[in-house]
Amino acid sequence: MSAFVCHSFGSADVLHQTTIDRPSPAPGEVLVRVRATSVNPYDWHILRGEPRIARLMGIGLRRPKQTILGADVAGEVAAVGAGVTAFKAGDEVYALVSGGGFAEYVCVPERDLVPKPRNLSFEEAAAVPLAACTALIAVRDAGRVQPGHSVLINGASGGVGTFAVQLARALGAEVTGVCGPRNVELVRSLGAGTVIDYSTEDFTRTRRRYDLMIDIAGGKRISAGRRILTAKGTYVVVGGPAGRWLQPAGHVFATLAVAPFVSQRMTNADLVRGKENPRNLRTLAGLIEDGSVRPVIDRRYSFDELPAAVAYQETGHCAGKVVVTV
């Protein structure tokens, strides 16, 4: 099978298309023929080995431990391992995996696999897993959104942000989105009642107060973000500007360090709880099938163009997701 493999840290140029053996599913695993994947900041952070602190946290000291990246998978069941009962060959599925999506085939534990939303193509489904699960955790779990809450989403036009706007609206919140000038209409079309163009207005200087701020883009001091929250409001940090040594991890750590000393809830969107991802993907499939949520795709690439897709995602200017047809 064909796969993009990386044996050293670096830019998208270190991704090499290689022919390797097709994996065989172990007991309890499902072999998926990948029809589409998508690119996330997670991928190029690992590819770059940045922030450098992440190397000490397990991604590899001198080279990536995960040689085939790709966390988002949508495709068809090709074969099942012993003991698998929930899926059969030909089933259309999608999943959030720890890696392996940048290949024609990947083995996925049966427990992690979920039926693909019926109304999405493989490319659309591949845009969902990592970004939408992160958004769901940020809005519903960490943010504890309730009907009538006022929510501000900083970074509303990116992969996570476009899902967060829709999920907050689906849960009955009033949404304000912050984005650049070219994406104002997009964010409004997703359900944001108010859209702030960060190039002309500083959202931290508004007199309005919010029950929840979801900070995806970063770029502002934590104290400035807290200023727009109610006394008992919640600040959820998802990411922040990339850096070579510590950021965006430093932004997350700094937010959590403030938590014991302020009246507002300061927390992060924790996607480490992998056991919940399949349940969250089923929840998202229901919201997608009933029309409450839809993936936003900025660009589509062929599999041979995957390094270009990674390079484009790394620019940080994507409106929604970058998907790759395999």
AA letter at 254 = A
d(CA 237, CA 248): 10
d(CA 280, CA 275): 10
- Length of the chain in residues, anyone? 326
Mean pLDDT for 221-239 is: 92
pLDDT in tens, 294-307: 999 999 999 999 99
Going by pLDDT thresholds of 50, 70 and 90, the confidence category of residue 317 is confident
Q: How far is CA 60 from CA 51, 65, 275, 306, in A?
A: 12, 5, 24, 22
**Conformational region of residue 313, where left means phi above 0, alpha means psi within -120 to 50, and beta covers everything else:** alpha
| CATH code that applies to domain 131-268 | 3.40.50.720
What is the β-pairing status of strands 16-19 and 105-109? unpaired
pTM metric for this prediction: 0.92
| CATH code that applies to domain 2-128+295-325 | 3.90.180.10
Domain with CATH 3.90.180.10 in the chain: 2-128+295-325
Domain with CATH 3.40.50.720 in the chain: 131-268
Is pLDDT of 165 > 80? Answer: yes
Residue position matching structure tokens 């040594």: 245
Whole-number pLDDT of residue 239? 74
Mean pLDDT for 101-106 is: 98
The two structure tokens encoding residue 176: 């304000």
Whole-number pLDDT of residue 28? 98
Whole-number pLDDT of residue 246? 44
